[in-house]
Copies of this chain bind each other. A is one copy, B any other.
């Protein structure tokens, strides 16, 4: 069911998930591709980003952003080409970063679009290493984590869009970097290609012991994007004055209730007190939106020198989005997950 110019396919939220999302929670609708009015452009989606935060949008629990309404379009970052333009600043064929959601086509008046130069970097990178995930990794690590050369930095989901950047930037800053990932293949990639000092497979039953052995001097910065049993293994290893930037808790996104006791809230607060730890949540564009240029300026020399590796996990066809998203929530992807919604080699 390929992308065509006369039809707009879109995934809406059919129902709110209870626990892990299922394909039933999504519904594919088909309509006509819209026509741009004066001052508008028609965007054709080439790449749709799939990210863990979307799980939060599917729920109506209070959060930092409004939920997707039932029957509403699933939200998401996209890399698009301008298919038709009645806007003076855009021409047919232009590449743009947009937030047009899980669909083939969208209209835009230009607000919130960011033009991409395909000669500088592959356009899809704007969804990953040069976009929200990379920006999240860079600012959380450097501004909250404040790593110093020689310190030990630990990051989970280490082969993923955020974790891979956290670890590679920390290596550039002279840190000892330990990753945590799911399975031998990912761990081999993290140490072999990304250059981390060590990587622990969280599927091993002795995760805590292995992590302790890999961090003989304790942990100075833990970049938290997972939670769950990984955080449990990290907590006793945190050093005095450790920093814990907190950008995600994917392990608990599907939870429908709190885990059974004992209540470890006082254990966490007691550890923060005794070890004088700073733990800080952040939402990248809300907290650092004005520093995107600083991020790009830091990343581009490293990328140009071949010092940063980036792996994409592209799945083909909009119809594959729900299954790919569901799988990502338990680590089925390997690298930054995105959907190639339509061809990227046509003029528009």
**A258: contacting residue among B64, B261, B280, CB under 8 A:** B261
Q: Does A247 contact B (CB under 8 A)?
A: yes
Count A interface residues, CB 8 Å. 42
**A272: contacting residue among B257, B264, B273, B279, CB under 8 A:** B279
Binary per-residue interface labels of chain A (282-308) against chain B in the complex, 1 for a CB within 8 Å, 0 otherwise: 110011000000000000000000000
With A280-B278, A281-B274 given, is the CB distance from A263 to B258 under 8 Å?
Answer: yes
Chain A 247-261 interface residues, beta-carbon cutoff 8 Å to B: 247-249, 252, 255, 257-261
Q: Does A319 contact B (CB under 8 A)?
A: no
**A280: contacting residue among B224, B247, B272, CB under 8 A:** B272
Q: Does A122 contact B (CB under 8 A)?
A: no
The reply to whether A246 and B268 contact each other, CB–CB distance below 8 Å, is no
For the complex, give the distance between the alpha carbons of A262 and B257 in Å.
Answer: 9
Binary per-residue interface labels of chain A (85-110) against chain B in the complex, 1 for a CB within 8 Å, 0 otherwise: 00000000000000000000000000
Q: How far is the CB of A336 from chain B (nearest CB, A)?
A: 21
The reply to whether A260 and B258 contact each other, CB–CB distance below 8 Å, is no
For the complex, give the distance between the alpha carbons of A224 and B266 in Å.
Answer: 12
The reply to whether A277 and B267 contact each other, CB–CB distance below 8 Å, is no
Residues on A facing B (Cβ under 8 Å): 62-64, 224, 227-228, 231, 240, 246-249, 252, 255, 257-270, 272-283, 286-287
15 more contacts with CB within 8 A, not counting A277-B280, A278-B279, are A64-B240, A246-B269, A246-B272, A249-B270, A252-B270, A255-B266, A258-B263, A259-B266, A260-B263, A262-B263, A264-B264, A265-B268, A269-B279, A278-B280, A279-B280
